C-alpha cells in the first residue's frame, strides 16, 4: 500500500539542526527556500501565488534562531519566535508594548502558534502587523550568511511589496531593538474588515514625554503605502510640542495627507486615508494622556 | 498531481499516545499524513489555508492548523487529534458531551477542530470567561450554530472539569 501523500511538487524537505547546516543547504541546493511557520509560504504555494520551490529548508529545529534575550533593556528576538511566544513574554510586553499588541491582534491562536517574527518581516507584506510596531522601536534585523553577518535598519530592509534586501543564501537570524528611552510608551492599532483578515490600515506610535511636551516620538503606518513606513512629517510636527487636542488633530490630518494607500475590493483609498488619521490621533491621545484611553 | 514516491522519507512521531512510523513526501502536510497513512479522519479539511480551523490539532500541546504544518516537522513530536481526546476510558470527554447536549454541534464539520482548540484553552485556563472562549476560538469557523451554543458548551465543560478535578483532589487527599 502506498502511504505517500503529495499536494504539490516540492522536491525535498530539509530539516537542518544547526544554522551552518541550514546556510550550507541554502547555498548548495539550487532554488532552496527557507520556511519557518509556513503560514505565508505554504498558503502562497497552495493558492498558486508562488511556484513550489524545488527544496524547502525548515528552520524550526535551528537553535540559533530561537529564543528572546534581554540585556540591560536591549532586546534580541530570534527569527523563529512565534506571535504566541511574544504575547506570553511579560518583559517584552513591558518594554515593547506596541510589539506585544501587534502580535496579540493577529490571526487566531492556531496562526499565532505558528507564525514567526522572521517570516512576518521577510514576507514583507505592506499589511503585516509587526513592521510598524518594530519601526517605532527603532528595530534592526540581523542577517546571517555562511561566513558573514550584517545588521540592517528595518527601514532599509523592506524595499517593496514582498521585497526585502535579503540576498540569496542569507537568513534573517534575529531582530534587535535598542533599549527604550526612559518613560517611552508605545501602542499599535489596526482596522480589519473581518476577523482573521490582514490589516486595512495599521498604525504604531511611541512617545516619551518631557515634562508637559512631547520629547522623543516615532509614528509608523502599515498597509497605506508599498512598504510599512515611518511618518517623518508627523514626528516633526509633534517633537517638542504640547499634546493638546488641536495638535493631535493636526497630526492625524498630516498623517492622512502623507500616506499613499490604494483602493481595492477590501477598502477605498479615501477610507484608508481617513482611518490612518483616526488611528494616529487616537494612538497619540492614548500615549500622551497619562493612560487615559483615546477611543472616546 | 505528480507524486514523488522516491522523495518520501520515514517519519515517526507520537500520535494520541502511540508511536507511529509512516513515510511522508516533502510536500505532505500534517493533515495529509493524519488522514492518509495514519487513518485518522476526525481532523477535517475545510479551507486548506489557515482560515477555518477545521484541521486544528495539538503539536506538543499547542494548537495549530494541520493544513499549514509540514508533516516532516512533527518528527519526534507529540501530536493529539480529536481521536485522542476522550474521557480516558474511550468514552466522550466533558467537552464532547457538552457540545452534544448544548447544541454546540449541528452538521459537525467544524466540531473536531472546535473541541481541539477548546481543549488547548482549558489546559491553559480552566475557568475562561465568555470573551476568553470567543478569543480562543476566533480561528475556528462554524457555518451552522452561530457560536452562542459553542461558547456555552465550553463554559459548561470547563465547570464540569473543575468539579471533576476538585473531586479527584478530595479523593486523593482523603485518608486511605
Ligand atoms: C489565516 C491567516 C491569518 C493571518 N493573519 C495575520 C495578521 O493578522 N497579521 C499579519 O501580519 N500576518 C497575518 N498572517 C500572515 C502570516 O501568518 C505572517 O506573515 C507570519 O508572520 C509569517 O511567518 P511564518 O513563520 O509563517 O512565515 P513562512 O510562511 O514560513 O515564511 C514567509 C516567508 O519568509 C521567508 N522566511 C521565513 N523565515 C525566514 C528567515 N528566518 N530567514 C529568511 N527567510 C525567512 C520564507 O522563505 C517565506 O518567503 C496571517 C496568515 C493566515 C494564513
Ligand atoms: S483546513 Fe486548515 S484552517 Fe481550514
Ligand atoms: S456545526 Fe456545521 S460548521 Fe459548525
Which residue minimizes the CA distance to atom 4 of ligand 3? Answer: B142
Q: How far apart are CA B50 and CA B30, in angstroms?
A: 13
Rounded CA separation A80/A65 (Å)? 6
Domain ranges for chain B: 4-83, 94-169
Question: Cβ separation of B64 and A5 shorter than 8 Å?
Answer: no
- Cα B107 to averaged position of ligand 2 atoms, centre (Å): 17
pLDDT at A195: 77
For residue range A120-148, what is the model confidence (pLDDT) as tens digits? Answer: 999 999 999 999 999 999 999 999 999 89
Alpha helices in A136-293 (DSSP H): 154-157, 232-238, 245-258, 269-288
Q: Is the distance from CB of A209 to CB of A288 less than 8 angstroms?
A: yes
| pLDDT for the residue numbered A24 | 97
What's the whole-model pTM score?
A: 0.94
List pLDDT tens digits, range A5-61: 444 578 899 999 999 999 999 999 989 999 999 999 999 988 888 888 999 999 999
How far is the C-alpha of B170 from the C-alpha of A196, rounded, in Å? 43
Ligand 1 midpoint to CA B152 (Å): 33
Rounded Cα distance, B147 and A174, in Å: 39
pLDDT band at A290, cuts 50/70/90? low
| Strand order from edge to edge, sheet including B78-80 | B18-24, B9-15, B78-80, B56-59, B62-65
A-chain residues within 8 Å CB-CB of B53? 108, 110
B110 lines ligand 3 (CB under 6 A): yes
Strand partners, A206: A186, A218
Which residues in A lie closer than 8 A to residue B1 (C-beta atoms)?
A: 6-9
A80: closest CA among A131, A127, A30, A34? A34
> Which superfamily does B94-169 belong to?
[2Fe-2S]-binding domain (1.10.150.120)
On the 0-12 / 13-18 / 19+ scale of CB atoms within 10 A, B77 is middle
Selection from B67, B78, B90, B73 nearest residue B139 by Cα: B67
Q: CB-CB: which of A3, A13, A37 is closest to B36?
A: A3
Contact residues on chain A for B43, CB-CB shorter than 8 A: none
Query: To which residue does cell 518613560 refer?
Result: A183
Q: What pLDDT was estimated at residue B116? A: 98
Confidence band (pLDDT; 50, 70, 90) for B174?
low
For residue B168, what pLDDT is reported? Answer: 84
Confidence class for position B175, pLDDT limits 50, 70, 90 = low
pLDDT at B176: 46
The per-residue pLDDT for B3 is 46
What are the angstrom distances between the C-alpha of B8 and each of A10, A14, B3, B30?
A: 11, 12, 9, 14
pLDDT-above-70 percentage for chain B: 95
CB within 8 Å: B32 and A7:
yes
Instruction: Report the C-alpha gap between B2 and B8 in whole angstroms.
Output: 13
Does the pLDDT value for residue A291 go beyond 60? no
Contacts by A228-235, CB closer than 8 A, 24 or more apart: A228/A126, A228/A128, A228/A131, A228/A132, A228/A135, A228/A158, A228/A202, A229/A135, A229/A155, A230/A135, A230/A136, A230/A155, A231/A255, A231/A258, A231/A259, A231/A280, A233/A258, A234/A258, A234/A280
Which phi and psi (to 5°) does residue B127 adopt?
-130, 65
Is residue B138 within 6 Å of ligand 3 at its C-beta? no
Asked if B144 and B107 count as a contact pair (C-beta separation under 8 A), the reply is yes
Measure A65 CA to nearest chain B CA, in Å: 16
**Which of A6, A114, A195 has its CB closest to that of B1?**
A6
**Sequence-ordered list of residues with C-beta below 8 angstroms from that of A109, at least 6 positions apart, any chain:** A84, B63, B117, B120, B135, B136, B138, B139
* Nearest of B92, B101, B100, B138 to residue B118 by alpha carbon: B138
**For position B1, what pLDDT does the model report?**
40
ipTM comes to 0.93
Interface test with B, best of A60, A85, A110, A197 (most B CBs within 10 A): A110
- Which of B5, B27, B137 should we substitute to test contact with A (largest number of A Cβ atoms within 10 Å)? B27
pLDDT at B146 over 90: no
CATH class of B4-83: alpha beta
Q: Is B137 helix (H, G, I), strand (E, B) or coil?
A: coil
Burial of A251 (0-12, 13-18, 19+ CB in 10 A): buried
C-alpha cell at A137: 522601536
Q: What is the mean pLDDT of chain A?
A: 93
Residues 6+ apart with CB under 8 A from A202: A102, A127, A129, A132, A188, A189, A190, A191, A221, A222, A223, A228, A279
- pLDDT at residue number B6: 62
Given a cut of 70, is residue B164 above it in pLDDT?
yes
Cell representation of residue A201? 490600515
pLDDT digits (tens, 9 = 90+) for A163-172: 999 999 999 9
Amino acid at each position: 500500500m502506498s502511504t505517500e501523500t503529495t499536494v504539490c511538487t516540492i522536491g525535498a524537505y530539509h530539516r537542518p539542526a544547526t544554522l551552518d547546516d541550514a546556510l550550507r543547504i541554502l547555498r548548495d541546493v539550487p532554488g532552496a527556500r527557507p520556511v519557518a511557520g509556513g503560514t505565508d509560504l505554504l498558503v502562497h504555494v497552495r493558492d498558486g501565488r508562488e511556484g513550489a520551490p524545488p527544496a524547502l529548508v525548515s528552520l524550526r529545529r535551528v537553535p540559533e534562531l530561537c529564543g528572546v534575550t534581554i540585556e540591560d533593556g536591549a532586546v534580541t528576538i530570534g527569527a523563529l519566535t512565534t506571535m504566541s511566544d511574544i504575547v506570553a513574554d511579560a518583559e517584552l510586553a513591558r518594554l515593547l508594548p506596541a510589539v506585544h499588541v501587534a502580535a496579540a491582534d493577529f490571526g487566531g491562536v492556531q496562526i499565532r502558534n505558528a507564525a514567526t517574527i522572521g517570516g512576518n518581516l521577510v514576507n514583507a507584506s505592506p499589511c503585516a502587523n509587526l513592521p510598524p510596531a518594530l519601526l517605532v522601536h527603532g528595530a534592526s534585523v540581523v542577517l546571517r550568511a555562511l561566513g558573514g553577518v550584517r545588521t540592517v535598519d528595518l527601514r532599509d530592509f523592506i524595499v517593496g511589496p514582498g521585497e526585502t534586501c535579503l540576498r540569496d543564501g542569507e537568513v534573517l537570524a534575529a531582530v534587535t531593538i535598542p533599549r527604550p528611552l526612559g518613560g517611552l510608551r508605545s501602542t499599535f492599532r489596526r482596522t480589519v474588515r473581518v476577523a482573521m483578515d490582514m490589516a486595512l490600515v495599521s498604525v504604531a506610535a511611541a512617545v516619551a514625554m518631557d515634562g508637559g511636551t512631547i520629547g522623543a516620538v516615532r509614528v509608523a503606518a502599515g498597509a497605506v503605502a508599498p512598504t510599512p513606513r515611518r511618518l517623518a512629517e508627523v514626528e516633526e510636527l509633534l517633537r517638542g510640542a504640547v499634546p493638546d487636542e488641536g495638535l493631535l488633530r493636526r497630526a492625524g490630518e498630516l498623517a492622512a495627507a502623507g500616506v499613499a494607500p490604494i483602493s481595492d475590493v477590501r477598502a477605498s483609498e479615501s477610507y484608508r486615508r481617513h482611518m490612518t488619521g483616526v488611528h494616529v490621533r487616537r494612538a497619540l491621545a492614548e500615549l500622551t494622556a497619562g493612560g487615559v484611553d483615546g477611543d472616546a | 498531481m505528480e507524486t514523488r514516491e522516491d522523495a518520501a522519507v520515514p517519519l515517526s512521531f507520537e500520535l494520541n499516545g502511540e508511536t507511529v512510523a509512516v513515510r511522508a513526501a516533502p510536500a505532505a502536510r500534517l493533515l495529509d499524513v493524519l488522514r492518509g497513512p495514519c487513518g485518522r479522519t476526525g481532523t477535517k479539511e475545510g479551507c486548506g489555508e489557515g482560515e477555518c480551523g477545521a484541521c486544528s490539532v495539538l503539536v506538543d500541546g499547542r494548537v495549530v492548523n494541520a493544513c499549514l504544518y509540514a508533516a516532516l516537522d512533527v518528527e519526534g513530536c507529540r501530536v493529539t487529534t480529536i481521536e485522542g481526546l476522550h474521557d480516558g476510558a474511550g468514552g466522550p470527554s466533558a467537552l464532547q458531551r457538552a457540545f452534544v447536549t448544548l447544541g454546540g454541534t449541528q452538521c459537525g464539520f467544524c466540531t473536531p477542530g472546535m473541541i481541539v482548540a477548546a481543549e488547548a484553552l482549558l489546559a491553559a485556563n480552566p475557568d475562561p470567561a465568555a470573551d476568553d472562549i470567543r478569543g480562543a476560538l476566533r480561528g475556528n469557523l462554524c457555518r451552522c450554530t452561530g457560536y452562542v451554543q459553542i461558547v456555552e458548551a465550553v463554559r459548561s465543560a470547563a465547570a464540569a472539569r473543575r468539579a471533576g478535578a476538585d473531586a479527584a483532589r478530595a479523593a486523593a487527599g482523603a485518608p486511605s
